[in-house]
Amino acid sequence: MKIKTKIYAFILFLILCESFYFMRDINIFEVWWGMPYILSIIFLLGIILWNLIDTISYND
């Protein structure tokens, strides 16, 4: 695994932990920061897809 991939995986892990911590106490869709939460998930999914494409093209 490349170093870049490890860094992204670590950041993703931290944000997921923080997200689950908030979801335990608060319904995220009823508060004003629910939308940035959703946007951050979409952004992270984009990073994961970009990493997969980068890894596949790197192996070719």
The tokens describing 10, both together, are 């670590």
Rg (alpha carbons) of the chain, rounded to whole number: 14
> In degrees, to the nearest 5, what angle opens at C-alpha 42 toward C-alphas 40 and 45?
110
If the chain, 60 residues long, is cut into consecutive pieces of 10 residues, what is the mean pLDDT of each piece?
72 72 57 61 79 73
Q: Is the pTM of this model over 0.85?
A: no
Do 19 and 37 touch, CB atoms closer than 8 A? yes
**Is residue 51 a contact partner of residue 15, using CB atoms and an 8 Å limit?**
no
Q: What is the pLDDT of residue 30?
A: 55
Number of domains into which the chain is organized: 1
Domain span at 25 = 3-59
